[in-house]
Structure 1
Amino acid sequence: MAREKIIGPGGPSDDDRKRDAALRPKLLREVIGQKKVAERLQIAVDASRKLKEPLGHILFDGPPGLGKTTFATVLPNELSTTIQMTSGPALSKPADMLPFLTNLEEGSILFIDEIHRMPRVVEEFIYPAMEDFRIDIVLGEGVNARTISMTLKRFTLIGATTRGGMLSGPMRDRFKMREHLDYYTIGELAQIVGINAKKLNTPVSDGACNEIARRSRGTPRVANSLLHWARIYSAARSDGTISEPLAHEALDVKEVDADGLDKNDRRYLEVLIDVFSGGPTGVEAIGATMNISTDTLTDEIEPYLLREQFLVRSPRGRMATPKAFALLQKPFPKPRPDEKGPSLFD
């Protein structure tokens, strides 16, 4: 039987990407949240203008949906330059990089999303491009092979990754700036919801902005998705205005609860508690019971449960916390006298 693949609140669809692009800020001063990161980038932009030099290469890392692509698209607007965009999985061989590198303008930006998924052979090919603004092209094979060195325009490479640890050391060291993006506060998300609702010409109350923000997992992409749902729900069931009661009703229909958990998050906890007595158990066993791939569990479901302390990963497997038992209104089991090894009571 085929395993189910879930696109949860943290996993963007094509519609999510288009919607995010339309709602993104255009300049650094319009960015909400990530204040320290924006401040350091503004300093780098001001220096680039005064020194008449390209920005140094920049690496953004952090969980999905926190604004890595937003920062990458804001910077060329600040510098009045162009940007080319690609992704690590699309670059399977060095030749795939040539159209991007040879079409670069002086001071322009090349953005590579999911840069950790770029093959090592492509990484090594762009090392001289990043350091010396040149590339070496090998023509021919065997004894007739010769290398041509091509000079490039000075440019800025911006990489984005959700798994910074998967980048090789030499690649990571070639970025002059490395910025980690963290989750947003409810206040920041409420402000983002309010601004984006105006862009969508949708009246929304402050209470509705806070309600949407509270269920958005600290992530602007999720907030935009929930705002979109509340907007179409209001258009279908009301007068198009998103009030706090209507936002509450819309999100309940979408099965996103007050803690930001969706039906798959709750199903995970139900399986762990009802089937495996709260654990510890392996993720493979949970995936087999839910008929969902382990990659989906570890990449899309577990991170939020871990962050919100509904789940812990122990050497013996996944374990539900007292908070998870309370959420499902289940009594938390006392440790058995003969229980060995680490537990939540240690």
Structure 2
Amino acid sequence: MIIANELGTSLRVTSGPAIQHAGDLAAVLSSLEEGEVLFIDEIHRLARPAEELLYVAMEDFRVDVVVGKGAGASAIPLSLPPFTVVGATTRAGLLPAPLRDRFGFTGHLDFYDPAELERVITRSARLLGAPLAHAAAHEIAGRSRGTPRIANRLLRRVRDWAQVRGDGTLDLAAARAALEVYEVDELGLDRLDRSVLRALCTRFGGGPVGLSTLAVTVGEEGETVETVAEPYLVREGLIGRTPRGRVATPAAWEHLGLVPPKPEGLLFDQG
């Protein structure tokens, strides 16, 4: 939206899962106006025929429309006006190298720091018409994992708690009470995150333990643990990945209020 606004043009929004055939992409491209911005969300999920069509469109501003079927089919080249393609994905490794290399610029969005999230939360509270104390905004921001989407979700849940069980004011007490109800702790860990940490520390002595074993222990699929819980736990330095499996760091034991086991192989206390 920022790019389209700076260019003074319009924005066309679509997504990779919505484009499963080359014809779907050809229909979108052929309807673009000159200078228009095409935004493709989850671009790594584009179908392979659509990817190959996008190659030609990005390089030559042309698409080939196939008319007819079988031996009588023919390809009609259709010229496209100059346009801008913006793709977004959270899994850049799944993008084919030929597609990734055709973009003139590749950027990476960092996580927000708490001060930036406070500004986001304060604005969202104003739009919701909910009176928000600065201390409550700071508390919510610190538990939002550096992500505005999570910050806005937690803000709405705090507002709900304040309206149902409080006086409607989003103060520090209301924020802490609401986040306790929704099981979001001081580091932003939720129930699944703490379950993974607790299983790793209490049942497996801090590891190492394999992903599938850990997932079965917490009653979740391995992919859920790997894609939902692990990234934030690793980023916060609570668990580590080793060739032998996942291990808990000293910070994990401290966060859970547990005492880590002494290293094996020591005959005497070195204290």
TM-score, length basis structure 1: 0.74
Aligned-partner SS, 1:278: coil
Alignment correspondent of 1:176: 104
Distance (whole Å) between structure 2 residues aligned to residue 97 and residue 281 of structure 1: 45
Equivalence for 2:253? 325
Corresponding residue of 1:200: 128
2:152, 2:168 → 1: CA distance?
17
**1:227-261 CA distance string (max 9 Å, x none):** 11111111112232211121111111111111111
SS of residue matched to 2:106:
strand
Question: Which residue of structure 1 lines up, in the alignment, with residue 212 of structure 2?
Answer: 284
Give structure 1 regions of 4+ aligned residues with deviation exceeding 6 angstroms.
none
Q: Which has the higher contact order (CA 8 A, sep 6+)?
A: 1
Whole-angstrom CA distance in 2 between matches of 1:103 and 1:142: 27
Distance 2:50 2:261 in 1: 52
Whole-Å separation in 2 of the counterparts to 1:273 and 1:311: 10
How do 1:236-275 residues align onto structure 2 when only pairs under 5 Å count? 236-275=164-203
Whole-angstrom distance in 1 between the partners of 2:108 and 2:262: 40
CA distance in 1, matches of 2:75, 2:118: 55
CA deviation vs aligned residue, 1:20-46 (integer Å, no higher than 9, x gap): xxxxxxxxxxxxxxxxxxxxxxxxxxx
Q: Which amino acid aligns with 1:104?
A: L
Q: What residue identity is the alignment partner of 2:252?
A: A
The within-5 A match list for 1:69-108 is 73-108=1-36
- Contact in 1 for aligned 2:26/2:65 (Cα 8 Å): no
Cα deviations by residue, 1:248-291 (Å, 9 ceiling, x for unpaired): 11111111111111111101111112222211111111111222
Q: Which residue of 2 aligns with 1:220?
A: 148
- Deviation of 1:303 (Å): 0.4
**Residue identity matched to 1:318:** R
Q: Distance in 1 between matches of 2:69 and 2:26?
A: 19
Corresponding position: 1:133 with 2:61: yes
Q: Which runs of 5+ in 2 are unaligned?
A: 267-271
5+ residue gaps, structure 1: 1-72, 339-346
* Separation of aligned partners in 2, 1:209 and 1:297: 29
Distance (whole Å) between structure 2 residues aligned to residue 74 and residue 175 of structure 1: 18
Please list, as runs of the form range in 1=range in 2, the aligned pairs for 1:63-74 lying within 5 A after superposition. Answer: 73-74=1-2
Q: Which residue of 1 aligns with 2:269?
A: none
**What is the count of residue pairs matched by the alignment?**
266
Aligned identity (percent) is: 46
Alignment-derived partner of residue 242 in structure 2: 314
Partners of 1:293 and 1:99 in 2: how far apart? 38
Distance in 1 (CA, whole Å) between partners of 2:203 and 2:14 is 43
Q: Distance in 1 between matches of 2:156 and 2:35?
A: 36
1:207 is paired with a residue whose SS is helix
Give per-residue Cα distances to partners, 1:125-161, cap 9 Å, x unaligned. Answer: 1111111211012334454332210011221111001
**CA displacement 1:163-184 (0-9 Å, x = unmatched):** 1122111111111121100111
CA RMSD between the two structures:
1.6
Residues 68, 74 of structure 2: 8 Å contact kept:
yes
Q: Give me the whole-angstrom Cα distance separating, in 2, the residues matched to 1:120 and 1:98.
A: 14
2-structure distance, mates of 1:131, 1:162? 25
If the length of structure 2 is used for normalisation, what is the TM-score?
0.93
